[in-house]
Structure 1
Amino acid sequence: MADQHLFVFVTVAEMENFSRAAEQLHMTQPAVSQYIRMLEQTVGARLLDRSNKYVRLTKAGEIVYHHAKEIIGLYTRMQNLVDDLSNKASGSLAIGASYTFGEYVLPHIIAELKRQYPDIHPMITIGNTKEIADKVSGRLLDVGIVEGEVRLPQLRQEPIADDAMFIITSPRSRWAVESQVTVHDLQSETWIVREAGSGTREAADNLFAAIPMVPLHLLEFGSTQLIKEAVEAGLGISLLSKWTVRKELALRSLCIVNVQGTPYTRKFSLIRQETPFYTKAMELFCELTVKHMAALDRRASQGGALAESDR
């Protein structure tokens, strides 16, 4: 195992409590305290502020915590690569995904991964595209699936599928019954968008820039689910991936606006560190993801254009 002092320190920092950390580590509390004291002596700084109610990282502790996570992750990947020489796919795999992919597509891929490779243990993190890219870049995640463009030179980006995005409205809106609308017609509408750093927000900004158009009213929400609820309530319109609104379209609680130039198409991409070494678990996950998206694309092609019942 990677340096035990770092592992104990990370556990205490994340649990914010010595007793809970000791229980998690199957150690006594005095033993945990001794590990922390020895680490503080080694680095020459106090790493934790302690009180009866909480344990908090000091400024020095934040630095050590960030690098300790990276060191432990590197050690784990090294051990997994060595274990892979036995040709058995196993071990932990830290997967990150942006909200659209992570909440609406990834669960199906993980289910298939567990069926085919039960000894691989995925750990899932969901965030916006920037957050996931930063964590993959910082080696806190092994692999990520994101929307849009990632501009970090240390990452390898591999497009794996197109994502069709439509302008969505409430079925009670006048736009739900219009046969043909231009985006300029919608300029005065309230546009509900995701936060900066989100791939969905980047797509909306790119659409506005391409027209060009500046929406007169903009609301920013940090959750796609909140956006769907707001649009359904008649608060405004939004540009969303069809993956996120399939159920609502089927139930007719949301409608697609027939806007010229839509759907807007972006890419889903796998992102990984640029390195010649990948664990077998990561390679198998990436292969499975590519195959899954190709199968979905074939089914969509065989099904033809978007069904009129969806519009």
Structure 2
Amino acid sequence: MNVSLRQLQLFAAIARLGSLTAAADEQAISQSAASQSFRELERQLGYKLLRKTGRSLTLTDAGQQALPKIHQVLTQLDSLAFPQADFIGGKLRVSASETIASYLMPQLLADFIASYPLVEPELSIQNSDGVIERVANGLASIGFIEGPTSSAGVSVNRWREDRLTVFCRPDAHWLSLARVPDGEWSTLPWIVRELGSGTRAVFDQAFGQRQETPRIRLALSRQEAIKQSVRAGLGIGCLSELALVDELSAGTLVELPTLLQLERTFAIVHLPKVALTPLVQRFTEFAQGWSV
């Protein structure tokens, strides 16, 4: 089998961008040359890596299995630029769910780069399902998620604890009650994260433990949109306490005490049975010992 590094780089770019044209532009080659090079890669491998779905390119089953291996090859080749065995530098591909990416990852990366200034971070923000998908497909070397997962495609390790907070606007009528009656939590108009997010998974799990179905007024993919909707009086929200520090301190939003079980564990995910590079291994160890 005669496969070139350029062909592997091209396939990785197509998988990431979802377009042969965009990948060709990124690799600074013509579209016809890229198409010919990719066809030759598939011929050498003996199976199809991509299928065309409408105007988009998607991975075949064989392509999904090959992509993490190809990323591993490219990562190992990148490490040849740093011959010292203990050298920590190069591109660090991280994927994190929104709460972690917004409120923890910037400082974590800044502290890590302060110790290892030759590291080049690349951060992708997804919901928890999206993080797992990127790690499983080899598009990220390490991921950080904020909800329970049963995915068999990745290795999951505990990282740190978190708690969701139920909140409302300061003049909400629910605050006039000593507490919301236990049987009425499911009837309140909830403004929550979308399905697939770790925050939503914990929220749904809390109501599942009570064998109740909450009344979802809005399901939104952005935390700021949820906070603004609560401020507008559309309902009550549920987000990580990390996302509400400023608002609760300023009094623009108010915590609503609840008996719902909303504790959760953030986790680090990576591919199983794949040796971590020294950079990813060091970042994992750094993250596990890091505190805000």
TM, length-normalised to structure 1: 0.78
Q: Which residue number in structure 1 is paired with residue 191 of structure 2?
A: 192
1:185-216 deviations in Å (ceiling 9; x for gaps): 33321111222221111111111122333224
CA 168–2 in structure 1, closer or farther in 2 if over 3 Å, else same: farther
Matches within 5 A, 1:1-311: 3-11=5-13, 14=17, 16=19, 18=21, 24-27=26-29, 31-32=33-34, 34-36=36-38, 38-39=40-41, 57=57, 66=64, 69-79=67-77, 86-259=85-258, 261=259, 264-275=262-273, 277-292=275-290, 295-296=291-292
Assess if the C-alpha contact under 8 Å between 1:81 and 1:278 holds in 2. no
Q: 1:288 to 1:177 in 2, by over 3 A?
A: farther
Aligned to 1:301: none
Is the partner of 2:187 in helix, strand or coil? coil
Change in CA separation of 1:157 and 1:34 when aligned onto 2, cut-off 3 Å: closer
Aligned 8 A contact 1:179 1:258 in 2? no
Residues 111-154 of structure 1, C-alpha deviations (whole Å, 9 max, x = no match): 11221112222211111111211222232221111112221234
Whichever residue aligns with residue 8 of structure 1, its letter is L
Aligned partners of 2:168 and 2:255 also within 8 Å:
yes
**1:64-100 C-alpha deviation (Å, 9 max, x unpaired):** 8656643431212333566575210012221111111
Identity over aligned residues, as a percent? 25
Q: Which amino acid aligns with 1:155?
A: V
CA distance in 2, matches of 1:136, 1:158: 14
Aligned length: 286
Distance 1:200 1:67 in 2: 29
The code of the aligned residue for 1:144 comes to G
Structure 2's unaligned 5+ residue stretches are: none
> Structure 2 length normalisation: TM-score?
0.82
Tell me if structure 1 keeps the 8 A contact 2:147–2:202: yes
Whether the aligned pair in 2 keeps the contact of 1:2 and 1:72 (CA below 8 Å) is: no
Alpha-carbon separation, structure 1, partners of 2:32 and 2:201: 50
> Alpha carbons of 1:155 and 1:67: their partners in 2 closer, same or farther (altered >3 Å)?
closer
Q: Closer, same or farther in 2 for the Cα pair 1:2/1:168, shift >3 Å? A: farther
> Aligned-pair RMSD on alpha carbons?
3.2
Looking at structure 2, the residues matched to 228 and 173 of structure 1 have their Cα atoms a distance apart, in angstroms, of 14
